[in-house]
Amino acid sequence: MIIRDKFQTGGAALLRGLNFGRRGSAALPIAMILVFAGDVSAATTNDLSDAQIQGRQLAQQLCNARPAENTTNTGVLKIRDAKKHRLEIPVRFQIATAQADSSGWKACYETTGTNHWLLTISHAANQPNHYRLVRPDGPADLTGNETAIPFAGSDFWIADFGLEFLFWPEQKILKKEFHKNCACVVLESTNPHPATNGYARVVSWIDEDSGSVIEAQAYDGSVKPLKDFNLKSLTKVNGHWRVEAVIMENDQTGSRTRLEFDGFPSTNSPDATPESLKK
């Protein structure tokens, strides 16, 4: 997985806009600019602290980021459910950008096994994401809290693929700190109207060097830890950031999903402990 330089390529992602290039690479690009000359929207800046203003500016910049090119790649979802049963699901990822003068682009996530799922997310600057999900029981258009459902039985929700928490109205920069061997900006996103058993708060660590979200912790409405997202093996190769896999753990059920990308050595189990980033 290649994470392109943050000031060159858009497409903010936890999993939003997985920008996959040629076989053996997959990009998760994030533009990271704290001073953004855009409309913060909603409440006036007079009502917000500096940390909230900067948080909204950062979230808006991430939401409006756009991939530079069309890309495709494949991988596998390695699932260990709450009962320790294991399942592997092959997946295909595709990014389709619009014309150079347009901010719109689409990301598609498709399982290629017998249990066929196809998720298409349409992105446009200053607009909410549009989710189209086709699964064995039929198609559906999803918005907001409706996206808090698993993708193909994995621990990744539909909302995770669109970084839906960045569209919440409450954003705040908590601090800067060294986290997992990376200098990070810590962003807190709060959902004023969370879904039942959905995300009410997300704290994400954004690496200042690569511009990627290296970890994100989600909490439910009772402020209990719900899920944890991690990148595995973030390294820079020939000027590009590469990630071997992304891992999502459900703290409440004990289930875990590892999304591996083609072109990297496979581990034997999704239970493998994530390595330290940037060794």
User: What is the C-alpha end-to-end distance of the chain, expressed in Å?
Assistant: 17
- Its pTM stands at 0.79
Tokens for 135?
């699964």
Tokens for 60?
């808006």
CB 123 within 8 A of CB 48: no
Query: How far is Cα of residue 267 from the mean position of the Cα atoms in its chain?
Result: 22
Tokens for 110?
């498709």
CB 260 within 8 A of CB 75: yes
- Sequence-ordered list of residues with C-beta below 8 angstroms from that of 95, at least 6 positions apart, any chain: 11, 17, 18, 19, 20, 67, 69, 70, 71, 72, 105, 106, 107, 108
Phi/psi at 138 (5° precision): 120, 175
- Sequence-ordered list of residues with C-beta below 8 angstroms from that of 168, at least 6 positions apart, any chain: 59, 189, 190, 191, 192
Tokens for 25?
């690479």
CB 1 within 8 A of CB 26: yes
- State residue 272's pLDDT score: 38
Per-residue pLDDT in tens (0 to 9) along the chain, 279 residues = 443 344 333 334 445 544 433 333 333 333 223 323 233 344 455 678 999 999 999 888 888 877 777 888 889 999 999 999 999 999 999 988 865 556 689 999 999 978 899 999 999 888 999 999 999 999 999 998 899 999 999 999 999 999 899 999 999 999 999 988 888 999 999 999 998 889 999 999 988 876 678 899 999 999 999 999 998 876 666 666 667 789 999 999 999 999 998 864 334 444 433 333 333
Distances (CA, A) of 206 to 33, 35, 138, 269: 11, 15, 36, 27
* Nearest C-alpha neighbor of 249 from the set 180, 163, 156, 162: 156
- State residue 164's pLDDT score: 93
- State residue 242's pLDDT score: 67
**Which residue matches tokens 């189990």?**
269
**Which residue matches tokens 């800067």?**
176
Alpha helix (H) residue ranges in 20-84: 50-64
Distance CA 164, CA 139 (A): 20
For the chain, list the domains and their CATH numbers. Answer: 2-49+67-164+231-261 (2.50.20.10)
